């Protein structure tokens, strides 16, 4: 196992969450207006234990939180891992998530930090194996259980740059919170107490609807809700207000 790869796999999944459109920073409770149709494009990449490569044949679904079982748009990644989905919004910013599914890897869910109000490009879905998922849990002493979900987050400022020194939390609480060490290489560490320069954090054994947020003196972050599903990886950003 390439340990450097294992610790950065989730970064590019999360980097796709930011947007230059200010409407995407609207808290969940106050959805803004949006175009009747928006287009989301991205890439799907696979981890084989030593590298990340574009992955073809990944089933992509875009869902609204009002109906988590029925996609409002679907696509399949091509040989370069690229995909595109155009979805209806009803004139309101999309409060939802993207799901990636392919045989041999665990399901991956990507939640933006706030509803999406405009066309969006660069939604990178990194698809990980159960081996890699378990490896991060081992490094963090996460004791991740199959019946529970795990969440990987990136804490970012208002410009979408990673924030160091922040702590993360969820309601209901995770059994373990973990951060990268900030060393070289910067691996997940059970002794790290806050985000390193990469802004990454991990939550273990969270199941169902969970409010996620971050804390750092002098900054206010936008809390939002994700659904942590058993046996799956949920990724999101936590953005400064």
pLDDT digits (tens, 9 = 90+) for 202-224: 999 998 999 999 999 999 999 99
**Whole-angstrom distance, CA of residue 227 vs CA of residue 206:** 9
| Band (51; pLDDT cuts 50, 70, 90) | low
Query: Considering the domain 130-239 in this protein, what is its CATH number?
Result: 2.60.40.1120
3-127 classified as CATH 2.60.40.10? yes
**HSE-CB of 35 using CA atoms within 13 angstroms:** 11
Per-residue exposure over 151-166, b if at least 16 CB sit within 10 Å of its own CB, e if not: bbbbbbbeebebbebb
pLDDT over 70 percentage in the chain: 85
Instruction: Give the phi and the psi of residue 12 in degrees, each rounded to 5.
Output: -70, -25
pLDDT over 90 percentage in the chain: 71
Please report the pLDDT score of residue 4 as a whole number: 30
Angle between helices 130-140 and 3-15 (to 10 degrees): 100
Sequence spans of domains, the chain:
3-127, 130-239
Q: In the prediction, which pLDDT does 226 show? A: 96
Residue-wise pLDDT for 190-207, tens only, equals: 999 999 999 999 999 998
Per-residue pLDDT for 27 more than 80? no
Buried b (16+ CB within 10 A) or exposed e, 92-119: ebbbbbbbbbbeebbebbbbbbbbbbbe
Tokens of 125: 């879905």
Mean pLDDT across 6-26: 37
Split at pLDDT 50, 70, 90, the class of 31 is: low
Q: Tell me the whole-structure pTM to 2 decimals.
A: 0.86
Tell me the pLDDT tens digit for each residue of 110-155. Answer: 999 889 999 988 888 888 888 888 888 999 999 999 899 999 999 9
Query: Are 3-127 and 130-239 the same fold in CATH?
Result: yes
pLDDT value for 47:
65
DSSP alpha helices (H): ranges in the chain?
3-15, 130-140
């Amino acid at each position: 196992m390439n340990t450097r790869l294992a610790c950065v796999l989730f970064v590019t999944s999360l980097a796709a969450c930011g947007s230059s459109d200010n409407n995407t920073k609207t808290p969940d409770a106050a959805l803004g207006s949006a175009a009747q149709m928006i287009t989301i494009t991205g890439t799907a990449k696979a981890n084989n234990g030593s590298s990340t490569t574009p992955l073809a044949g990944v089933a992509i679904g875009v869902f609204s939180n009002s109906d988590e079982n029925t996609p409002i748009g679907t696509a399949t990644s091509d040989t370069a891992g690229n995909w595109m989905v155009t979805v209806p919004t009803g004139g309101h910013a999309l409060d939802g998530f993207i799901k990636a599914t392919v045989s041999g890897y665990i399901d991956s869910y990507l939640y933006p930090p706030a509803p999406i109000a405009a066309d969006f490009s660069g939604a990178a879905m990194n698809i990980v194996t159960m081996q890699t998922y378990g490896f991060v849990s081992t490094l963090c002493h996460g004791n991740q259980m199959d019946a529970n979900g795990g969440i990987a987050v990136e804490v970012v400022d208002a410009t979408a740059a990673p924030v160091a020194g922040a702590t993360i939390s969820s309601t209901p609480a995770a059994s373990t919170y973990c951060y990268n060490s900030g060393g070289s290489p910067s691996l997940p560490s059970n002794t790290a107490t806050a985000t390193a320069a990469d802004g990454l954090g991990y939550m273990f054994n969270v199941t169902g609807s969970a409010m996620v947020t971050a804390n750092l003196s002098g900054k206010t972050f936008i809390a939002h809700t994700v659904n942590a599903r058993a046996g799956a990886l949920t990724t999101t950003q936590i953005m400064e207000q």
